[in-house]
Amino acid sequence: MEVSAYAKLNLTFEVLGRRNDGFHQVTTIMQTIGLADMLWIEPDSELKVECEYPELAGEQNLVWQAAVALAKAGNIEPAARISIEKHIPVAMGLGGGSSDAAGALLGLNVLWGLGLSIDELAVIAAGLGSDVSFFLWGGTALAQGKGEEITSLSPLPPLAVTLVFPDLQITNKTAAMYSKLTVGQFSDGGVTRQMIQILTAGQFVRESVRGLVFNAFSEVAARSYPQLLEMCSQVAEQGGPVLHLCGAGPALFTLPSSEEEHQRIAELLQPHGAGVYLVSTVPPEKCGLGSLPAGAR
């Protein structure tokens, strides 16, 4: 079985405050995009998770944890061979590991004949990581709580997205970024509510959404990683669009007005050694269950 595990970006990312359990309360609109890892899932006598990157193979991969958790829920022994072909850059804020885990849950649910519903899989997904639940649905969705409470929204039309991958590696990135948040970065969810109004009213205008894109980590990233601020400033100073963080970063994105604008961004950032790619939004029917082969759904 071949499963596509798409990346995501956050059109809004608001942190409302700190929870009693030590996590942060968030409200975010997530969107799947046309960059995907590929998972090959087949029967085996034991559980094997393989990847061309040795550090992502075996028990340390979230896919392994997903398989073990699903098998426990189904009261069976985890036995399958899962091969992961990585195309989503690791630790860039695009949710690749979470998407792989969701793809494994969907595929193994079929392979093992467990017959669990998406809602039942979502309970398992929530225990694996905050973003995993979203990838069971994909498309355009509101995520609340720690990020595991998912409400599907009216999908965006096909929309070009410029992705920027800086030459920057951040150790324990997500934890580090959250630890640097202050009350000044907390908000009341108003930007997200505005974005939802635009989407649900069916009055989508690319400029409207582009003007509302917001990320609570923007100030933290600008202070912590001057390279990102320098890249964003260079594009803006040349009349280009605002670049936004993907999740907790350090990847950046914007919604270009044209292919020419995308090319201009790529040219401006070439001296920084950044990878710049043009992708598109991906609708929900291609994600989640739609990412499985037709005969497996």
Taking each helix axis as running N to C, give the angle between helix 96-111 and helix 118-128, from 0 to 180 degrees, rounded to the nearest 10: 140
Alpha-carbon distance 134 to 72, whole Å? 21
Does residue 173 carry a catalytic annotation? no
Q: Tell me whether residue 273 is exposed, middle or buried, using C-beta atoms within 10 angstroms of its C-beta: 0 to 12, 13 to 18, 19 or more.
A: exposed
- Annotated catalytic residue: which of 8, 86, 100, 286? 8
SS (H, E, C) 14-48: EEEEECCCCCEEEEEEEEEEEEEEEEEEECCCCEE
Instruction: Measure Cα distances from 51 to 56, 59, 237, 278 in Å.
Output: 6, 12, 41, 25
| Residue-wise burial string across 72-89, b where 16 or more C-beta atoms lie within 10 A, e elsewhere | ebbeeebbbebbbebebb
Does residue 100 carry a catalytic annotation? no
Tokens of 187: 């908000």
| Cβ-contact 61, 28 below 8 angstroms | no
Bridge partners of 39, per DSSP, are 3, 84
Evaluate the omega torsion of the peptide bond into residue 250 and state whether it is cis, within 30 degrees of 0: yes
| Cβ-contact 4, 96 below 8 angstroms | no
Instruction: Measure Cα distances from 175 to 49, 171, 234 in Å.
Output: 26, 9, 28
- Annotated catalytic residue: which of 100, 131, 146, 180? 131
Catalytic site positions: 8, 131
